[in-house]
């Protein structure tokens, strides 16, 4: 049974959504990934959102672009946390997606990450799951340590070779 549902409005969202899947895999979190358009196939969308709790999802990560109603509509139906990822767009630079996703009415929250923030969406989902899972919490702490290590190594190299040879 998948713990996280990853859903995107179009396969054009895949480069961003795959970053979320990569992080979940790295952390050993099970997920189901779907392409479902709330606008182009509303009946399939409603079926997905209505059955999500029954399927055992604890969090949904929903990504969409432009008039991005998919995350908000997931949140309207699914009673557990929904994390929204606004896609970058060529016409409005992703502000259209961001505003569509983040400006939810009171009572129906969507935890919105940055434009194209696929990895952070998965990390946020992991942190939500880790509130009841010590093993996952330990993996997240290790992940944070590895981020710190990467910065330390970069600085060591800078000190060694100088900025001109970096």
Among 5, 6, 7, 13, binds ligand RP5 (CB under 6 A): 13
Distance of CA 9 to the CA centre of its chain: 13
37 binds ligand RP5 (CB under 6 A): yes
State the alpha helices, DSSP H only, in the chain.
Answer: 14-26, 42-51, 70-77, 95-102, 118-130, 134-161
Residue 149 CB, nearest approach to ligand RP5 (Å):
35
Candidate residues 49, 59, 87, 129; the one interacting with ligand RP5 per rule CB under 6 A: 87
C-alpha span between 19 and 29 (Å, rounded): 14
Burial 97-127 (b: 16+ CB within 10 A, else e): bbebbbebeeeeebbbbebbbbbbbbbbbbe
Please report how close the Cβ of residue 112 comes to ligand RP5 at its closest, in angstroms.
14
Any contact of residue 118 with ligand RP5 (CB under 6 A)? Answer: no
- Least Å from the CB of residue 62 to ligand RP5: 9
Contacting range for ligand RP5; rule: CB under 6 A; set: 21-29, 60-68, 73-81, 119-127: 60-68
Cα 133 to Cα 67: distance, rounded to the nearest angstrom: 36
Binding site for ligand RP5 (CB under 6 A): 8-10, 12-13, 37, 39, 64-66, 87
């Amino acid at each position: 049974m998948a713990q996280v549902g990853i859903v995107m409005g179009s396969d054009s969202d895949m480069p961003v959504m795959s970053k979320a899947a990569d992080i979940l895999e790295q952390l050993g979190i099970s997920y189901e990934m779907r392409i479902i358009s709330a606008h182009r196939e509303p009946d399939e969308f409603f079926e997905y959102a209505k059955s999500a709790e029954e399927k055992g999802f604890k969090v949904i990560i929903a990504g969409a672009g432009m008039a991005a109603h998919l995350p908000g509509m997931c949140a309207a139906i699914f009673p557990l946390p929904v994390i929204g990822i606004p896609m970058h767009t060529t016409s409005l630079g992703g502000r259209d997606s961001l505003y569509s996703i983040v400006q939810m009415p009171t009572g129906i929250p969507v935890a919105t990450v940055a434009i194209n923030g696929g990895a952070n969406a998965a990390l946020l989902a992991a942190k939500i799951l880790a509130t009841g899972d010590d093993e996952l919490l330990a993996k997240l702490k290790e992940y944070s340590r590895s981020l710190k290590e990467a910065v330390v190594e970069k600085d060591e190299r800078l000190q060694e070779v100088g900025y001109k040879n970096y």
